[in-house]
Chains A and B, each alone.
Chain A
């Protein structure tokens, strides 16, 4: 049986007005176990803490895989189901290419800078 994933915090969460801004502590959002933890921590913001406006800031992220994309899609669905909104910002051009290849740039609201993203809610 595999070991339990480490429970260290993988997100830095800050409230700016009624928007919850999330920064990722990992530069590489790749590992399956880490992605699972990131997903749980993101979902709990909506399901347990009742946050409705989430801004994911990718400023620190250098790599992400398709498994991570899946978590953001599920998060987006959760927010839509409760009348909330998800916006992504500060995405490195190489990471943005991944969103373009997968056409997820059409699914997500993606803003260049955090300030513009905050105003887009």
Chain B
């Protein structure tokens, strides 16, 4: 029988380990698929999550497995909201150089925030910068859509 729960939640704290982050991404992808989100939405949320988790694990927690990353996610048929919190000192997103400025185009890093902002409907960093909230409003069509 089909699960008709209107909202699915996930709330976990993981070690600063990319493998654990991957499992969380997989779980959130499954939640999106449960609500039949389109391929482009799933791709975008997954990529934004990857960038947020890499930021948290690598830059926030400095790959220290003893430090945790907390991920809270709420998915409904209409939207997906994700909160990622690390134990690092935070950062000011305004200090990140614009990666699409001509002079920065060949910099090997600094594109994560750009991708998060592109693929999510809203992205907000909360001072001191170790907590990010991201929201994705579902793109039409609602069902079986390749949006």
Residues of A within 8 A of B (CB): 2, 30-33, 63, 65-67, 69-71, 73-74, 76-77, 94, 98, 101-104, 106-107
Known: A66-B111, A69-B111. A107 touches B50 (CB 8 A): no
Shortest CB–CB separation between residue A29 and chain B, in angstroms?
A: 10
**B 97-135 to A, binary, CB cutoff 8 A, 1 in contact else 0:** 001100001111111101100100000000000000000
> Closest A-chain residue to B100, C-beta based?
A103
Expressed in whole angstroms, the Cα–Cα distance for A32 and B51 within the complex equals 11
Expressed in whole angstroms, the Cα–Cα distance for A97 and B127 within the complex equals 31
Residues in A neighbouring B47, C-beta threshold 8 A:
63, 65, 98
Apart from A65-B50, A73-B107, A73-B108, what 14 extra A-B contacts exist at CB < 8 Å?
A: A2-B17, A2-B65, A30-B22, A31-B19, A66-B109, A66-B110, A66-B112, A69-B111, A71-B108, A76-B106, A94-B43, A98-B115, A103-B100, A107-B106
Residues in B neighbouring A103, C-beta threshold 8 A:
100, 105
Residues of B within 8 A of A (CB): 17-19, 22, 39-40, 43, 46-47, 50-51, 54, 58, 63, 65, 99-100, 105-112, 114-115, 118
Q: Return the contact of B99 from the options A67, A71, A102 (Cβ within 8 A).
A: A102
Known: A32-B18, A32-B54, A65-B47. A94 touches B40 (CB 8 A): yes
Does A107 contact B111, Cβ atoms closer than 8 Å? no
Instruction: List, sorted by A's number, 8 A–B pairs whose CB atoms are closer than 8 Å.
Output: A2-B65, A31-B18, A65-B50, A66-B51, A66-B110, A66-B114, A73-B106, A73-B107
Known: A94-B40, A98-B47. A66 touches B115 (CB 8 A): yes
Q: Return the contact of B114 from the options A30, A32, A33, A101 (Cβ within 8 A).
A: A101
For the complex of A and B, the 8 pairs showing the least CB-CB separation, nearest first, are A70-B108, A66-B111, A103-B100, A66-B112, A101-B118, A65-B50, A73-B108, A102-B111
- For the complex, would chain B's binding face be called helix, strand, loop or mixed by DSSP majority? helix
Residues in A neighbouring B105, C-beta threshold 8 A:
103-104, 106-107
Shortest CB–CB separation between residue B47 and chain A, in angstroms?
A: 7
Residues in A neighbouring B50, C-beta threshold 8 A:
30, 63, 65
